[in-house]
Amino acid sequence: MNTRFSMSLLACLLSANFAVPAAGQIAVRGGTVYTMAGEPIKNGMIVVQDGKITAVGKANTIKVPAGFKVLKAKVVTPGLIDAHCTVGLSGILNYDHDQDQLEHAEPIQPELRALDAYNAHEDLVAWVRSFGVTTIHTGHAPGELISGQTLIVKTTGNTVEGALLADSRAVVATLTGDARKEDTKSPGTRGKMIAMLREQFIKAQEYLDKKAAADGDDEKEQPARDLRLETLGRVLKGELALIVTAHRAQDIGSALRLAEEFDIKLWLDGAAEAYLLIDEIKAAGVPVLIHPTMVRPTGERENFSFETASKLVAAGVPVAMQAGYEAYVPKTRVLLWEAAMAAANGLSFEQALASITVDSAKILGINKRVGSLEVGKDGDLALFDGDPFEYTSHCIGVVINGEIVSQKKR
C-alpha cells in the first residue's frame, strides 16, 4: 500500500466523529422488565447514563440516545442483593490464607471490622456476580458469641472503598451451638451466652454514660477509648443493627427478649424455627434474614421448613433471602436458586424476587439507591434468557453502576 495513502487514511480515521459508547452509557431492552416498583413492563427499556437510571418504560416510548450500547434479554430485573453472606472475607477455596470470616481468639469481638478484611479481588465475588448478584451484605461469619461487623458493598470495584455502600451496618452475634465452648470455657450453655451478652451491653451503656457526662465538663475525664464498647454503644444507639443467628425457637425467643431489654435494632438470621414464633416476631417488628432454603436440615436446623419464608411473608414479617455461609467450598450458596426454592414453596414469583431485591434493600437501608429499577437509582441490572427461577434459564448479563461487569452465561 502507498505510504502517503496509508498516512492519509490513518488521519481520516483519527479525525472521524464516531459514536463510541461512553462508559456507563447503556440501554437494556427486556421482553419483560421487573422494576419492583410497579407492574412488570412487557417490551420494556431501561436507560442508564453516568451510572444512574435515567428512563424506565415501554421500549416504544423511550428514545435511546445516539451512541449508547444496547443490551437485550428476555427478562430484566434489578441487580440481586444478598442479605447476608461472608463473600469477600471467605475465599472460594479452603485455603487458610483467604479465610478471614471468623476469628476464634475470643468469644466477643465486635470491634473486628469487615472493612479491614474484605477482598474486592476474591474470585468468589466474581462468581456470585456472574449470577446477577450486584450488592452483598457481608462480613464476619456466625460461630462466636459476637464475631464482628458487617458492611455493604457492590460486587465490583478495585478496592473495598471503590465498592462501598456502607462501611459498617451490623454486629454479628450467634446463639447456636457453634458459639458454645466445651470443657470449662465460656460460653458453655445458653444461659451463659445471654448473660455474657447482657453484661457487655450494660458495660457499653455505662461507657456511653461516662462519655456523655464528661462532654462539656472540663473537670470530668473522658473514659479511655474502648473499641469493643464503642461498637456495642453504636448498637445501643441504633446506629448498627444486631444480627443474631438463631435456629431453635427458644434461642429466637431469647434474642427477642434481649432486643427488647436494651431497645436494640434486631435482625434475626437463619431462624429455622421462626414459623413457631410468627406472632412474637411480627409484634417485635423484627425482620428475618431467612436461612438458605436448601440448607442442610441437621443439628439445630433439623426442624427447618421449605415454607418458612412464605409463612412469614403471609403474616407481614419483613423477609430477605440470603446465600449464607458454608464451611465447605464454595463457601456460599447461589442466591437465585435459594429464592427459586422459596417460590416453589409458597411465595409468588414477585414475592420471591422481592426477597432478593427491593425487600432486601429496605431491610438493609439502601433502598434509595438499589433494589428497584427507578429513575435516579443506581444502574444495577441482571439480565436473563428466561424465567430467572427456572433451572434451565441463565443469567446472561450483569450491569453495575451502568458498567457491563459480566456477560458470562450462568
Could you read off the pLDDT of 219-272 as tens digits, one per residue?
788 999 999 999 999 999 999 999 999 999 999 999 999 999 999 999 999 999
The residue type at 376? G
Contact in structure between 351 and 30 (CB atoms under 8 Å) = no
- Around Cβ 290, how many Cβ atoms within 10 Å? 30
Domains, the chain, in order of start with CATH, read 20-79+371-410 (2.30.40.10), 86-370 (3.20.20.140)
Q: What's the rounded Cα separation, in Å, for the pair 204 and 267?
A: 20
Q: Note the Cα 391 to chain centre separation in Å.
A: 23
Phi, psi dihedral angles at 120 (to 5 degrees):
-65, -20
* Residue of 309, 407, 303, 384 whose CA lies nearest to 354: 309
For 111, 237, 242, the CA distances from 262, given in Å and listed in that order, are: 19, 10, 11
Checking if the pLDDT of 14 tops 50, the result is no
Cell of 229: 464498647
Average pLDDT of the residues of the chain: 93
Chain CA centroid to CA 192, Å: 31
343 phi and psi angles, rounded to 5 deg:
-70, -25
What distance in Å separates the CA atoms of residue 88 and residue 91, rounded to the nearest whole number?
A: 6
Residue 369 is placed in which grid cell? 439507591
For 71, the grid coordinates are 443490551
In this model, does residue 193 exceed pLDDT 60? yes
> Greatest CA span in the chain, whole angstroms?
89
Dihedral (CA of 351, 353, 357, 363) sign: positive
Note the pLDDT of residue 195. 98
Average pLDDT over residues 295-314: 94
Query: Which pLDDT band holds residue 23 (cuts at 50, 70, 90)?
Result: low
User: How many C-beta atoms lie closer than 10 Å to residue 392's C-beta?
Assistant: 7
